[in-house]
Amino acid sequence: MKRILAILVEDRPGVLTRVSGLFSRRGYNIQNIAVGPTTEPGISRMTVTVEADPNTVEQIVKQLNKLVNVLKVSDLTDENSVERELMLIKVKAEPGRRSEIQQMAATFRAKIVDISPDSMIIEVTGEERKLQAFLLMMQEFGIKEIVSTGSVSLLRGSKVTRDLRA
């Protein structure tokens, strides 16, 4: 089962290694990971997507909480949350097929951000499922290269994944 964990960490040297090292050492599989700042100076937020059963996720959360630089771990999967991932796709685009690609991109609300004589770069955001569907459609044109950010996620409404320092 896919789970999305939001991990608030102190912004200290090596903290990413501590978190990712914990996953690899205990045999948990990270599907993707995204790291960025929060509104609070000195605190970063990691969003980690893992594939694991509920017991394993519970262990992961407990083990993460034991890391001294970890402030808070929240499982955003079951919550009502907004999940997004951004992907850039470089796709083959001979002049004859460009409009076809453009139409497809429009359907997925993707943007064309670069065009060269025989290729295009398309930017698409959404949940993982949408990106997978779009990728599938692009395959028939020939995908040259992709890159993506990994999922990030926020709770809907005014609730926040608050830092515990009160």
Partner 1 sequence: MKLTGAQMVLACLELENVDVVFGFPGGAVLTLYDEIYKRGLRHILTCHEQGAAHAADGYARVTNKPGVVIATSGPGATNLVTGIATAYMDSVPLIAITGQVAKPFIGTDAFQEADITGITLPVTKHNYLVKDICELPWILKEAFYIANTGRKGPVLIDLPKDIQAQEGEFDYPDRLKISTYRPTYEGHPGQIIKACDAIRKAKKPLLYTGGGVISSGAHEKLLEFSRKARIPVTTTLMGLGGVPCDYELFLGMPGMHGTYAANNAINEAELLIAVGVRFDDRVTGKLDTFAPNARVIHIDIDPAEIGKNVLADIPIVGDVKLVLTEMLKRIQPGDTEMWCAKVLGWKKAHPIRYRQESNNCLKPQYVIEALHRLTGGEAIVTTDVGQHQMWAAHYYRMKNPRNFITSGGLGTMGFGFPAAIGAQVAFPEKKVICIAGDGSFQMNSQELATAVKYKLPVKVAIINNQYLGMVRQWQKLFYGGRYSQTSLAGSPDFVRLAEAYGAAGFRARNVGEVETVIDAALNTPGPVVIDFQVDPEEDVLPMVAPNTSIVEMIGGEER
CB of 96 to partner 1, least distance (A): 52
* Residues at the site binding partner 1, with contacts judged by CB under 8 A: 10, 13-14, 17-18, 21, 25, 55, 58-59, 62-63, 65-66, 68-71, 164-165
- Outline where 98-141 has alpha helix (H): 98-107, 128-139
Residue number with CB closer to partner 1 (32 or 63): 63
CB of 3 to partner 1, least distance (A): 17
CB of 54 to partner 1, least distance (A): 11
Alpha carbon distance 17, 23 (integer Å) = 10
Alpha carbon distance 111, 66 (integer Å) = 42
Residue number with CB closer to partner 1 (45 or 90): 45
Residue number with CB closer to partner 1 (21 or 107): 21
Alpha carbon distance 9, 156 (integer Å) = 22
CB of 74 to partner 1, least distance (A): 15
Q: What SS3 state is found at 20?
A: helix
Alpha carbon distance 67, 3 (integer Å) = 20
Residue number with CB closer to partner 1 (21 or 37): 21
